[in-house]
Amino acid sequence: MDYGDYEGVMGLEVHAHLLTKSKIFCGCSTEFGAEPNSHTCPTCMGLPGALPVLNKKVVEFAIKLGLALNCSISPTSIFARKNYFYPDLPKGYQISQYEEPICNNGWLDIFVNGQAKRIRILRIHMEEDAGKLVHERTIDTSSYSMVDYNRSSTPLLEIVSEPDLRTPEEATAYLKALRDILMYLDICDGNMEEGSFRCDANVSVRKKGADAFGTRAELKNLNSFRFIERSLDYEISRQIDLIKKGGTVIQETRLFNAEQGVTYSMRGKEEAHDYRYFPEPDLLPVAVDDAWVESIKKTLPELPMEKMERFMREYGLPRYDVEILSSDRELARYFEEVLALFPDAKTVSNFIMTELLRELKNGNVSPKDSPVKPAQFAELLSLIKDGTISNKIGKEIFPDLYRSGASPGQYVREKGLLQISDEGAIVGIIDAVIARSPKEAADFRAGKEKLLGFFVGQVMKETKGKANPALLNELLLKKLKG
């Protein structure tokens, strides 16, 4: 998107739910969707006298992400109380980190329109989530709210970027890259509908080339990629229009209305919270030694960006392909498993990006659960390559193979789909087709070479698409010209 003389400036605050089995300060389960208030205890319900005990896994996950995002890991970090009142926050404060977070000063490289850009990460800190309010309206339209503390004290990482993003596309690319990394690391499921990955965006605008930033508005609770891009675009345009009309942007918190496609003010600066942060007296400072960081470093998997670069280097694939193949760790694994059996990277990539991804997306299925396993996928490609079936047939039968999980070899034999590569058989059909199309044959011989397609089509129709195309072309030309 282009905003003329102006540009957007955005910094994002992302909240990621961690895939730990238990909560951050107690032993309760973090499982989603359980009976309301069944995963609770005095600590996560904030009962007086209950004390928090830090879950070590949360620290490990924070360090993992910090390393993946090139941050420095603080040897000591401090938990702090963020005080505010809300019914889903039983203690009256959220335990978070404030002045001394666990990770600082990293970066994440993104690609937009084939161009690399480095987005700096300001900080990553650990905190607990609040409970959830469920609002009900009765038949006489009076309403009431219920509170479910299952989510109370589930662990979160908050990842705060520097205001380095300039367009909604960059913001989306950043979020996708960050989500991919969290999922690669196996520390967050990335599920936006369930709120496991959500984002607040700080947005301001300025004249292109200006040094100073403008006043920012904060857009809260963006939880789908489509809405994020739309709401950012709307907000940038709104601020530019406002300034052009002589108005000034005010610092406020806004929400996005997806139906109307607009943002609206939720609260202004005057109503902004004063959180009265202070160090959490019930938790010791978090001490992380080098040995621990080093041992976690050794467990880091190959990350999406590294995988992309390796796929381009080792397999000679274009960026477009590797961006898709490496976006999902399971898809990348599938690709390499097929490749081990059928070492033609571009063919494998093409077939995965078209046939396989279409079926997976239709059913919202992960590549690891594909009914067509890598071995069958490779078998299908081999059948095409050795001429047993045509490429066209290979594509046509893919949905059926996917549904049935059948062996490709057996399937094509049973359905009689074997490609006809027998010269005699093809010549017989060609002769018949030419005999019943004398006008076209004469026109072809008189120079209307386009008509070759007509003859190819006729023979293919006769053979239900099974004639070997290369052989057919060669024989047809011989017959028509000869």
Q: What does the binding site for ligand ADP look like in residue numbers (CB under 6 A)?
A: 9-13, 160-163, 202-204, 213-214, 216
10 binds, among Zn ion, ligand ADP, none (CB under 5 to 8 A by kind): ligand ADP
Partner in contact with 160, chosen from Zn ion, ligand ADP, none, beta carbon below 5 to 8 Å by kind: ligand ADP
Integer angstrom CA distances of residue 397 from 348, 390, 411: 16, 11, 9
Position 28 contacts Zn ion (CB under 5 A): yes
CA distance 181 to 302: 10
User: CA nearest 103: which of 69, 146, 79, 128?
Assistant: 69
* Residue 266 interaction partner, one of Zn ion, ligand ADP, none, beta carbon < 5-8 Å per kind: none
Q: Is the dihedral of CA 421, 422, 423, 429 positive or negative?
A: negative
Q: Measured from the CB of residue 272, what is the shortest distance to ligand ADP in angstroms?
A: 9
Q: Smaller CB distance to ligand ADP: residue 128 or 164?
A: 164
Q: Output the smallest distance, CB 36 to Zn ion, in A.
A: 14
Give the residue among 262, 165, 258 at the shortest CA–CA distance from 216: 165
DSSP track, 201-231: EEEEEEETT-SS----EEEEEE-SHHHHHHH
Contacts 24+ apart (CB under 8 A), 270-274: 273/84
Residue from 10, 26, 429, 467 binding Zn ion (CB under 5 A): 26
CA separation for the pair 360, 188 (Å, rounded): 21
The β-bridge partners of 119 are: 108
CA distance 101 to 115: 31
Least distance CB 81 / ligand ADP (angstroms): 15
162 binds, among ligand ADP, Zn ion, none (CB under 5 to 8 A by kind): ligand ADP
Q: Name which of residues 29 to 58 contact Zn ion (CB under 5 A).
A: 41, 43-44
- Closer residue to Zn ion (CB): 46 or 469: 46
Measured from the CB atom, is 162 or 323 closer to ligand ADP? 162
Chosen from ligand ADP, Zn ion, none, partner binding at 86 (C-beta under 5 to 8 Å by type)? none
What is the DSSP code string of 382-395?
HHHHTTSS-HHHHH
Rounded least distance, CB 202 to ligand ADP, Å: 3
110 binds, among ligand ADP, Zn ion, none (CB under 5 to 8 A by kind): none
Total count of residues recorded for the chain: 482
Minimal distance, residue 267 CB to ligand ADP, in Å: 13
Give the binding site for Zn ion (CB under 5 A).
Answer: 26, 28, 41, 43-44
